[in-house]
Structures are given as structure tokens and as C-alpha cells.
Amino acid sequence: MSKTILIVDDSTTLRQVVRMTLVGAGYEVLEAGNGKEALDILDGRKIHLIISDVNMPVLDGIELLKNIKLLAHYKFTPVIMLTTESSEDKKREGKEAGAKAWVVKPFQPPALLTAVSKLILP
């Protein structure tokens, strides 16, 4: 059974690149264009990992992360922040909200897959 990853980013192009990277590595992928759409997808189905941008309309990545940690089914689901944000303050805010990894865009697919494999157990 393959593992399911939710990608949350307002850039359709970036979601496509991440999707191709993950599908090529054997993962199933769900997509959301912002934090609110992501919360709608988190309906109890098994999601093994979430990859989220920080800067998005409607509900940003940090607020999404805080909301995820309040959901019984998902509070232990690891979250990777994939973002252009590289300031130490923003990274600290993400870590305090529960982010397990921080990958800065533009990213190298092997680096993303390494972060994913460290957070998803076989």
C-alpha cells in the first residue's frame, strides 16, 4: 500500500512539480490550493505526510499547521514546510507550530524526497 501525501500550495505549477516528484517515487498525492482547502480534505482519511507552503491566501501555512495539530486524526501527521521563506524567525514560528522540516524553494527533488523519506516510515 502506497503512502498518501497532501500538497498544499497556491501555485498550481509548484504543486505539479511536487506531484511528479512524489508520484515518481511511488507516493499517492492529494492537492489543495490553500489552507482552508487542505482542512476540507482532512476528513478522516489516512494522510501520512503534509507538504505546505507558508504564504497562501485564505489560510496560510502556519495557521494551517496550528489547525492540523488540533485535529485528533492528524495531530501527529508530520508536516514539511516548502516555502520561499528562509528567515530564522519564520522557521522558528513554523517549528513552534509543529513543522518537522523546512525546505526552501526553489528545491531540488532529491532533497525533498530525502526529507519525505525521513518522515514517512515504510
Q: What is the pTM of this model?
A: 0.95
| pLDDT tens digits, 93-117 | 999 999 999 998 888 999 999 999 9
What is the predicted pLDDT for the residue at 102?
Answer: 92
| pLDDT tens digits, 53-94 | 999 999 999 999 999 999 999 999 999 999 898 899 999 999
User: Into how many domains does the chain fold?
Assistant: 1
Q: Is the pLDDT of residue 122 over 70?
A: no
Distance CA 116, CA 33 (A): 20
What is the predicted pLDDT for the residue at 107?
Answer: 87
The whole domain housing 64 covers 4-119
Q: Is the pLDDT of residue 120 over 70?
A: yes
Q: Which CATH number covers residue 94?
A: 3.40.50.2300
